[in-house]
Structures are given as C-alpha cells and as structure tokens.
Chains A and B, each alone.
Chain A
Amino acid sequence: AQTVTQSQPEMSVQEAETVTLSCTYDTSESDYYLFWYKQPPSRQMILVIRQEAYKQQNATENRFSVNFQKAAKSFSLKISDSQLGDAAMYFCAYRSNAGGTSYGKLTFGQGTILTVHP
C-alpha cells in the first residue's frame, strides 16, 4: 500500500517571501501522479499543482512549483511571493495510474498548516 508523509505539521512565512513544504511517499509503482491540494479554513479543497511520475520536468503553476525527486520519493512544494490568501492547510496526495480497484483513489498525507504573516 502507498503511504504519504508530511513531516511539517505547521509552517509560517512572511508575505512576499518563499516557503517550501515537504512531502515524501512510499510506493513500488512506477506510474503515478502526485498532487498538492490546498484547503483554506472552512472552505473546500482545491487542486494547486500536479506532477506525473514519468515526467522529469518539475511542474510549475504561476507562483507554485514542485521539486520532484523520483528516486528519493520526495515531492516538495515551493510557494514564491507568498500572499495572505495562501494561508491554508496543504495536503500532498498520491494517485496510482496502474488500474485496478485503486485507480483514481487519492492517498493523502497528514497536511501542513501554512500561516502567512503580513
């Protein structure tokens, strides 16, 4: 079974600064997706960024980028020019692309609470 670990329960950053959230995962599969989801307080979860395991190039979405290290099974999220609206719980998630009954299922980490200071 796949596991996802986020070792930072809480992180904080100053507005306009850069912060990196860490995530490690364990899998024996070679074909999978990794995601970062954002869950603002009392609001619904939204997708921030995704990475396909077969792509070596790190994904980027505006101020959000990832550092995907497949061999190390590491998947960190970098938020540049942090804004007050970035404050939320961030979840790292894994999804197998191998088919079967687990196809489509997301396995989440424990989450990291990000605080942004003005």
Chain B
Amino acid sequence: EAGVAQSPRYKIIEKRQSVAFWCNPISGHATLYWYQQILGQGPKLLIQFQNNGVVDDSQLPKDRFSAERLKGVDSTLKIQPAKLEDSAVYLCASSRGQGAYEQYFGPGTRLTVT
C-alpha cells in the first residue's frame, strides 16, 4: 500500500509570510496527526483528526496555525503569519483508528523561516 504522502518536502519563507502543507494519509486510515519537530527535539503533536473531526488541538497555536481535513481524507496545515520559531519539520502521520497502536509517518516538510 502507498505510504503517507506530504508536500512540499522543503519550504523557505520570510517571517510574516504564510505557508501551507499538504498530507495524504494511507487509504482507509481514519486518524490523522500533525506533529512539529524542531531540530534536536522529538516530535510534538499539534493536532489530531478522527475522520474530519478534531480530536485534540490543545497544542496548536491557534492565533497563527490552522488545519483542516475535508471529507476525512487529506489534510492541510497552514501557518499565517510565520515566525522564526516555526522553523521545523512538520510530520504527518496516520493510523487505522485512535485505538490502532501503529502510526505511519510521512517524510515530513522542512520549513525554514528567515
């Protein structure tokens, strides 16, 4: 089966600009996760979807970050306006459901904010 797809793989923007990332999970996976991985740290969950509903967005900086998962399939994560501290790798992962123990990760999008 095809893995989790993400695009773009790399993005460089200036601070205060906006950016969007796209994720297509494994077919049939109901749960989708966005993680932020700052260099030298472990990933931190930003938002979790179950189908097209938000389960947990407690760590999402809602003044600048937004995410949606239309039709319960692919998802977009947006940052507007970007700050220098947003430089990180944004990882998308999916699983069959919340109870499934294994999450499958995409290759990530490396964002550099200058």
Interface set of A (CB-CB < 8 Å, partner B): 4, 33, 35, 43-47, 50, 91, 93, 95, 101-111
Q: Are A106 and B45 in contact (CB under 8 A)?
A: yes
Residues of chain A contacted by B106 (CB below 8 angstroms):
44
Residues of chain A contacted by B55 (CB below 8 angstroms):
101, 103-104
Q: Are A33 and B107 in contact (CB under 8 A)?
A: no
Q: Are A110 and B41 in contact (CB under 8 A)?
A: yes
Instruction: Give Cα A107–Cα B45 distance, bound, in whole angstroms.
Output: 8
How far is the CB of B61 from the nearest CB of chain A, in Å? 17
B92-114: which have CB < 8 Å to A?
93, 95, 97-103, 105-108
Instruction: Give Cα A34–Cα B64 distance, bound, in whole angstroms.
Output: 32
Q: Are A45 and B91 in contact (CB under 8 A)?
A: yes
Interface set of B (CB-CB < 8 Å, partner A): 3-4, 31, 33, 35, 40-45, 48, 55-56, 58, 91, 93, 95, 97-103, 105-108
Q: How many A-B residue pairs have CB under 8 A?
A: 60
Q: Are A106 and B103 in contact (CB under 8 A)?
A: yes
Q: Are B40 and A110 in contact (CB under 8 A)?
A: yes
8 closest A-B pairs by beta carbon, nearest first, are A108-B42, A104-B98, A45-B105, A101-B56, A44-B107, A103-B98, A44-B105, A105-B45
Q: Which of B4, B44, B97 contacts A108 (CB 8 A)?
A: B44
How far is the CB of A24 from the nearest CB of chain B, in Å? 14
Residues of chain B contacted by A4 (CB below 8 angstroms):
42
| Nearest residue, chain B, Cβ from A105 | B45
Residues of chain B contacted by A95 (CB below 8 angstroms):
101
Instruction: Give Cα A103–Cα B58 distance, bound, in whole angstroms.
Output: 13
| Nearest residue, chain A, Cβ from B97 | A104
Residues of chain B contacted by A33 (CB below 8 angstroms):
101
Instruction: Give Cα A103–Cα B48 distance, bound, in whole angstroms.
Output: 10
Residues of chain A contacted by B35 (CB below 8 angstroms):
106
Q: Are A47 and B102 in contact (CB under 8 A)?
A: yes
Residues of chain B contacted by A103 (CB below 8 angstroms):
55, 98-99
